[in-house]
Amino acid sequence: MNEHDRDGLDPQQRAARDAVRGLGVPAADPDFRARLKAQFVAGAVPEDATGIVHLPTRHLPVFAWGTLAAAAVVIWAVLGLNPLPGPELLAVGGTGVVVGDGQQF
């Protein structure tokens, strides 16, 4: 093997990784835990205390409809403005009858 380990780290990077993995889990502040527990029980947990970001769900259906409309316009433009070529008559031979709209020609 070369200077890199199987995970692609050089010795200095491996030492840093091992040092970080060796760190202990920091203990939570007892005052913060008590305050958050009291807010949770009261149903008044502030949004920034949890770190969860809530997206406004009323805008999601509008976005979905806009995306669907844009996709329909793209499909219409590709298929409607650039039609596939129609049938071509490559060769004719022999005798026959051509019938069109109920009339013989």
Q: Binning pLDDT at 50, 70 and 90, where does residue 92 land?
A: confident
**Mean pLDDT score of the chain, rounded to an integer?**
77
Res. 26: pLDDT tops 70: yes
Residue 11 pLDDT exceeds 80: yes
Structure tokens at 100: 């069109």
* Three-state secondary structure string covering the chain: CCCCCCCCCCHHHHHHHHHHHCCCCCCCCHHHHHHHHHHHHHCCCCHHHHCCCCCCHHHHHHHHHHHHHHHHHHHHHHHHHCCCCCCCCCCCCCCCCCEECCEEC
Q: Which pLDDT band, with edges at 50, 70 and 90, does 89 fall under?
A: confident
Tens-digit pLDDT profile for residues 67-84: 888 999 998 888 777 667
In this prediction the pTM is 0.27
Calpha distance 37→50 (Å, rounded)? 12
